[in-house]
Structure 1
Amino acid sequence: MGNIDYAILYAIAFVLAFLIAFFATPLAKKIAFKVGAIAKPRKRDMHKVPIPRMGGIAIFAGFMITFLTLIWKLPLVNIKQTLGVFIGCTMIFLLGFFDDIFELPAKPKFLIQILAAAVVALCGVRIDFFTIPFIGDKEFYTTFLAIPATVIWIVAITNAVNLIDGLDGLAAGVSSIASLCLMVLSIYFDNPPGAFLTAILAGSCMGFLPYNFNPASIFMGDTGSTFLGFTLGITSVMGLLKGYTVTTIFIAVLVLGLPIFDTAFAILRRFLAGKPIMSPDRGHLHHRLVDRGYTQKQAVVTLYGISGILGVSAIAFFNRDLKFALLVFIMMGCLLYFTVKTMATHDKDNES
């Protein structure tokens, strides 16, 4: 299959996933009401009225239906890896589904996340080896560490995305941006499976986003946020980390930088305060922006901008064009500043 054919496949996958997620979201809302998966306002929450929280059903439907329908269009499909992705993602989806209904304890959820990631790794989606640039690009095989390293990465990204799901449209938008950047990088790395999966994931997120952006009529819940994080973890391994350089690992961390850094600071903050690492608080970056006077829209757009800057900088860094990376960083920073200022002026005008 030529590059043009691949481009057409990625476009079809994106559009199909978008449409399925978009039209499945009203159904997800009905299911949420029926099973009682309703997010009631808590002290640290931003919403003031109960809102259904199973939008992840639509994201999962958009991703999985498109995945199972079009994966066979790729040449030399790895059946074992495909089965691993299907089983692992389905396990995480079901975990989130029941968590949104029954609010399961943290430890059992964590163990199931590890099990789901292990299934994916055992089916061949794992970091088999890496190379260190500038020392002859010698290959260092991870051997017995391949599966544990992959499981740790996938579970970490799963929980990182889950933790940033605190404002309307934040997790869906950031995941969309990260997916699109990973898709571009997967195309650069000539990795069709990685590009295919990230195109589907971006389409699914963006199909759900019109219902989830402020003011949201539905939340994705753990059904969506853990599924998004889990799938981003898988796609980053398939598209970037598997058998590449330490520099590539840095690029993957940069693309997923917003949820990773926010989670790292949350862990450090809670550790220093003597609190359990998994205990919820109002110290996340999105909470801090709102507490500083940002509206939800301003905070979300700001974090979109930061995520976009990190992603585009990762692409520029991959091309070893540091001047271009710096220029993009400055231009997007200025655009972000003026966008937030414009939104602030608009909100003040509406209030007066």
Structure 2
Amino acid sequence: MKIYFLSFILAFAMSFVTTPLVKKLAFAIGAIDVPDDKRRIHTKPIPRLGGLAIFAGTMASLLLLLPKSHETIGIILGSLVIVLLGVLDDKYTLSAKVKLVGQIAAALILILSGIRIDWISNPFGSGVIYLKSWVAISLTLLWVVGVTNTINLIDGLDGLAAGIAFISSTSLFIISLLNGRYATAVISIAIAGASLGFLPYNFNPAKIFMGDTGAMFLGFLLSAISIQGAIKSATAIAIVVPVLVLGVPIFDTLFAIIRRILNKRPI
């Protein structure tokens, strides 16, 4: 258990220490959330880019504690694409199409590294159903892009997205341990530590927002480890439980979309 403790502490400390530095960087480059409509809860400009601290904490644990397997490298490279996309969006407000292209590119990196949904459990009996390659790739793309945007859409209240990421990653950590997926367990507990390290700055009233940088990064990483650590495992619980864990933000997203449609607001 020593490696998991180190992963958590390292990610927590790095995230906690770097968040004030990221706050200064956000002000310096103008990545600021300005309250310019009635939907904003805060009344003064708040820096974005807080996700950079979460990214730094998580990556510190991954780079120092995990062997450089194809899957690990795929997760790191995909995360870099997502974080770069998030930083640009926090600064310049990218279009939905540009973000979608970037998210698909990151998802394809995961797929090329071997992280994809190759099979599903048989709903009509025992065993599993192996998917054709094009089905596996399509399903993985939908899952990764969907979960990435799910966390992004729910990031509307102080501490909400980071709190959900902490709960989800802690649950996925336990599931990974039960199924012998130790690399996934290290990543999961690193996400938990980095999210917790950021939370003191993000509780109401927030001193900094994680921005799209953090929300998309957390969603991307949660989608990746839920595939790597659970859907490839051989037991039903490793498939069902992560879906239930991630189902909390998914249902919240659906309700958020419905509310915005009913109020004739942009999604």
Short-chain TM bin: over 0.9
Residue matched to 1:212: 202
Q: Distance in 1 between matches of 2:154 and 2:124?
A: 36
Residue matched to 1:69: 64
Residue matched to 2:22: 28
Residue matched to 1:234: 224
RMSD over aligned Cα, in angstroms? Answer: 1.8
Q: Distance in 2 between matches of 1:211 and 1:274?
A: 31
Give 2:250's match in structure 1, choosing from 239, 250, 260. Answer: 260
Higher relative contact order (CA 8 A, sep 6+): 2
Q: Distance in 1 between matches of 2:217 and 2:245?
A: 18
Contact 1:55 1:221 in 2 (8 A): yes
Which segments of 5 or more consecutive residues in structure 2 lack a partner in the other structure? Answer: none
Q: Specify whether residues 275 and 141 from structure 1 end up closer, same or farther in structure 2 by C-alpha distance, changes over 3 A only.
A: farther
1:170 and 2:153 matched: no
Q: Specify whether residues 80 and 246 from structure 1 end up closer, same or farther in structure 2 by C-alpha distance, changes over 3 A only.
A: same
Deviation at 1:249, TM superposition (A): 3.5
Q: Distance in 2 between matches of 1:133 and 1:261?
A: 23
Residue matched to 1:349: none
Q: Distance in 2 between matches of 1:29 and 1:161?
A: 21
Deviation at 1:149, TM superposition (A): 0.9
Which segments of 5 or more consecutive residues in structure 1 lack a partner in the other structure? Answer: 1-6, 281-352
Deviation at 1:130, TM superposition (A): 2.3
Q: Distance in 2 between matches of 1:124 and 1:34?
A: 39
Deviation at 1:150, TM superposition (A): 1.1
Contact 1:127 1:243 in 2 (8 A): no
Residue matched to 1:51: 46
Q: Structure 1: which 4+ aligned runs deviate by more than 6 Å?
A: none
Q: Secondary structure at the match of 2:129?
A: strand
Residue type matched to 1:90 in 2?
A: L
Contact 2:175 2:238 in 1 (8 A): no
Identity %: 48
Q: Specify whether residues 245 and 111 from structure 1 end up closer, same or farther in structure 2 by C-alpha distance, changes over 3 A only.
A: farther
Q: Distance in 2 between matches of 1:149 and 1:214?
A: 37
Q: Secondary structure at the match of 1:83?
A: helix
Give 1:99's match in structure 2, choosing from 84, 89, 99. Answer: 89
Q: Deviation digits for residues 47-105 of structure 1, max 9, x if unmatched?
A: 11101111111001001121111102xxxx5x221221111000000000010000111
Contact 1:130 1:246 in 2 (8 A): no
Q: Which has the larger radius of gyration?
A: 1
Q: Specify whether residues 147 and 274 from structure 1 end up closer, same or farther in structure 2 by C-alpha distance, changes over 3 A only.
A: farther
Residue matched to 2:2: 8
Deviation at 1:133, TM superposition (A): 5.9
1:200 and 2:195 matched: no
Contact 2:179 2:238 in 1 (8 A): no
Contact 1:18 1:62 in 2 (8 A): yes
Q: Deviation digits for residues 129-157 of structure 1, max 9, x if unmatched?
A: 122267232x3111221121111111111
Matches within 5 A, 1:306-317: none
Residue matched to 2:213: 223
Give 1:117's match in structure 2, choosing from 87, 107, 110. Answer: 107
What's the TM-score once normalised by structure 2's chain length? Answer: 0.93
Give 2:151's match in structure 1, choosing from 132, 157, 161. Answer: 161
Residue type matched to 1:50 in 2?
A: P
Contact 2:231 2:238 in 1 (8 A): yes
Contact 2:187 2:225 in 1 (8 A): yes
Q: Secondary structure at the match of 2:66?
A: helix
Contact 2:233 2:239 in 1 (8 A): no
Residue type matched to 2:102 in 1?
A: I
Q: Distance in 2 between matches of 1:31 and 1:152?
A: 33
Contact 1:212 1:218 in 2 (8 A): yes
Contact 1:130 1:140 in 2 (8 A): yes
